[in-house]
A and B are shown apart, each in its own frame.
Chain A
Amino acid sequence: EPEVTQTPSHQVTQMGQEVILRCVPISNHLYFYWYRQILGQKVEFLVSFYNNEISEKSEIFDDQFSVERPDGSNFTLKIRSTKLEDSAMYFCASSELASGTDTQYFGPGTRLTVL
């Protein structure tokens, strides 16, 4: 069964450094998402992406964050200058259609630790 993959599984970085989290969505999917889960808190929506542009972003997704689909398979989340509070599990998800009735499939996550 096709699945969403994410790399790396764990990333440790120093405060102020840039990080890029990578995701490979399911191949025929068109709608992509990033969510994050700070330890002990809810899973929170960050951004949705369709047709090479951001569809929606949350208030968390400020100028320090950006997303890109650099080629036909990868979907990346960049944090320009990491803060301690960016430490979280970051989940990528994808869905086949832009329809709300379509299921979002999640990757295993990248645990980001900012020191």
Chain B
Amino acid sequence: AQSVTQPDIHITVSEGASLELRCNYSYGATPYLFWYVQSPGQGLQLLLKYFSGDTLVQGIKGFEAEFKRSQSSFNLRKPSVHWSDAAEYFCAVLAMEYGNKLVFGAGTILRVKS
């Protein structure tokens, strides 16, 4: 069955520091992977996605993610965090054979300290 694990429930980083949010997936076929961000009271906004090709994908707001098949990982990174990045981040895998449903991880809450 498809699943996504985000091992860190909370992460706190200082403004200007680098960030890496971890995501591991379990999926039988070639995965289509996504990172979404949810600010308080807001919906889910797509940061970036991986379908195929280059394993390093660039997204909005200066985020990038690297797909590593050997590690079943799709970690999200940002070289310098801004206070406005404080939000909850969700990794997801697409289960195409099940009506294109997205299977989400539990989320990681990012706090940014000044």
Contacts and interface: CB of A to CB of B under 8 A. Distances in A.
Interface in B57-114: 90, 92, 94, 96, 98-107
Contacts, number: 61
B99 A56 contact: yes
Q: Interface SS of chain A: helix, strand, loop or mixed?
A: strand
A48 B100 contact: yes
Interface string B10-40: 0000000000000000000000101010000
Given A48-B99, A56-B99, A91-B43, A106 B36 contact: yes
B98 A56 contact: yes
A49 to B, nearest CB: 9
Contacts of A33: 100-102
Q: Which of A55, A93, A106, A108 has the most CB of B within 10 A?
A: A106
Interface centre among B45, B101, B103 (most CB of A within 10 A): B101
B37 to A, nearest CB: 11
A42 B96 contact: no
A13 B98 CA distance: 32
Nearest to A55: B99
A25 interface: no
A56 B101 contact: yes
Given A100-B96, A103-B49, A106-B43, A45 B103 contact: yes
B101 A106 contact: no
A104 B60 CA distance: 16
Nearest to A46: B101
Contact of A109 (B32, B43, B105): B43
Contacts of B32: 100-101
Interface of B: 32, 34, 36, 41-46, 49, 51, 90, 92, 94, 96, 98-107
Given A58-B101, A93-B44, 11 more contacts: A42-B105, A42-B107, A43-B44, A44-B104, A50-B99, A55-B99, A100-B100, A103-B49, A104-B100, A106-B44, A106-B45
